Amino acid sequence: MERKYESVLGELASRSINFFISKSSKAKVLDVEDSLQRVLLRAQVIIDEATGRHITSQAVLQQLDMLRDAMYHGCYILDTFRCQSHDEHDANDQVVSHSFALSKVNSLKGFCSSSRNTHILEQLQDALDNLSYMILDVKELVVFLTSYPCLYRQPYSMHLLLHNCMFGRQMEAELVLNFLLQARPHGAEELEVLPIVGPGRVGKSTLVANVCKDERVRDQFSEILFLSDHDFRDEKLMHLWEGCAKKFQNCTAIKDVRVLVVVEVAGDFNEGEWKRLYSSSKQFLTSGSKIIITSRSKKITKVGTRSALMLKYLSDEAYWYFFKTLAFGSTDPMMHPRMACLAMEIARVLQRPFVTGTITAGLMRDNFDTHFWCKLLAFLRGFVKWHVSRFGEDPSNCLNQNKPAHLRRMIRTSEAIMVYGWYECRSQEEVPKMRLQNLMYGRAKPSGRFETLAWSSPIPPYYSYIFACEIEDLKNTAVKRKRS
């Protein structure tokens, strides 16, 4: 009896300790969560105020970029914590009746939960401290912005704003603008060249096209020429410069005819062809003209008169902010915690491509239903796992490198969409009426080889992405392989 009595007392003591630890840690976590939410709101106000300003100071731009990254990280940590809390709450609701025989297991779970809460508290606290310090660092910038009219954006229009603007490239755009608008050093004879380097589909063409749309750039340059590496031929260059010379002769009202040349190198960089282009540019272009060259190859960094601008893919935190805003639209994600967790898992499965993320987020916004989002998440997980196991590579990597890929269909599970390749076309050109989302998530079933519209960009350079496809029956393919 004494041993049983001591064991019961020990069990009660351990439960009491775990109860008070969990309660105190939970209270601290909730306090930090509330503080982080307020600091995130303040950071969002500062960034919204600064987004519409024409800032030329490189130091201020770097501060804003660091503050923006800290805000994305804080949102990511906060949403991850809320999803974990929501999952734990669902698990506790499902398991409501345990006997006293499982008391030791439950006490161990209590200790594990308290250590996990401590880890979550540390992550939330680090995000809160980092963002708070960032806001203190930009206090001079906040004072500077108060002298301008307040820029107020309604929350319901934020998804429309992100859908119709270049996301995550504010600092890079200002750097290119400063290069184009900066006066040329007195007595300098060489043409100024800015190289922009980055992997495929990172947004090099989009960045340059949006900067060239700026009215100040239009006022600075009387002509903007877009060239590709196919225009490096001598005969093409002669025709090009002769046509430009005739245009410039007719521009008698303009005293200084300045030209901006944008060169996009799609393949490998040829230094010999570049030298011919550059020498002919010096011969035909007037003083004050400038060149921007974009490529995946880092070889172009050698030809720049300015330090090269290196573009990278969005971070996980920035991509989640972008994807969540588009997926929920005018709806507050905090009102739908279960759907917020599903959206975060879908964003992780997609692995940060802009085109696929925009298509999927639009599909989710049009089908705002928990059951559909659960079905979509299960489909995407199974599809990616199937593609990796069968072809040894993620489908987004294949599409990004313009290699053949297989896309599964959510309704017709026995069929796949064989994508042989894709290309870009301008918005004014004729595009296919059939859309990729109708193939993957609808009941459309074309025959033979066909082209489908994957996505049309609403921002410059207004590209439409066309896939060359064919429907493949997985059952017949499996039978043929087995026979062979």
* pLDDT tens digit sequence for 58-85: 777 788 889 999 999 999 999 998 888 7
Average pLDDT over residues 249-263: 67
Kindly report the backbone phi and psi dihedral angles of residue 190, in degrees, each rounded to the nearest multiple of 5, phi listed first.
-75, 145
Least confident of 33-47, 108-122, 184-198: 108-122
What would the two tokens of residue 52 be? 């519409």
Distance CA 78, CA 84 (A): 10
How big is the CA angle at 215 (ends 243 and 61), to the nearest 5 degrees?
120
Query: pLDDT, tens digit, for every residue of 143-156?
Result: 776 655 444 444 44
Q: Are 131 and 57 in contact (CB under 8 A)?
A: no
Distance CA 57, CA 47 (A): 16
Nearest CA to 468 out of 443, 442, 434 is that of 434
Q: Residue 133: pLDDT above 60? A: yes
Buried b (16+ CB within 10 A) or exposed e, 189-207: eebbbbbbbbeebbbbbbb
Distance CA 40, CA 42 (A): 5
Average pLDDT over residues 294-298: 93
- Using pLDDT thresholds of 50, 70 and 90, give the confidence band for residue 448: confident
H helix or E strand, kind and range, residue 471: strand 463-473
pLDDT at 92: 56
Residue 102, exposed/middle/buried by CB under 10 A (0-12, 13-18, 19+)? Answer: exposed
Q: Helices marked H in 226-315 — which ranges?
A: 234-250, 271-284
Report strand pairing: 415-426 vs 405-408.
Answer: antiparallel
484 vs 301 pLDDT, higher one: 301
Residue percentage of the chain with pLDDT more than 90: 37
- Using pLDDT thresholds of 50, 70 and 90, give the confidence band for residue 397: confident
Query: pLDDT, tens digit, for every residue of 369-390?
Result: 999 999 999 999 999 999 999 9
pLDDT at 100: 35
| Residue carrying the six token digits 């109860």 | 19
pLDDT at 444: 83
pLDDT at 111: 35
- Using pLDDT thresholds of 50, 70 and 90, give the confidence band for residue 45: confident
Distance CA 284, CA 281 (A): 5
- Using pLDDT thresholds of 50, 70 and 90, give the confidence band for residue 9: very low
Query: pLDDT, tens digit, for every residue of 307-355?
Result: 999 999 989 999 999 999 999 988 889 899 999 999 999 999 998 778 8
Query: pLDDT, tens digit, for every residue of 13-41?
Result: 454 444 434 444 455 777 888 999 999 99
pLDDT at 26: 53
How much is the pTM?
A: 0.78
Buried b (16+ CB within 10 A) or exposed e, 41-51: eebbebeebbe
pLDDT at 90: 64
What is the rounded average pLDDT for all residues in the chain? 79
Q: Residue 114: pLDDT above 60? A: no
Q: Are 201 and 354 in contact (CB under 8 A)?
A: yes
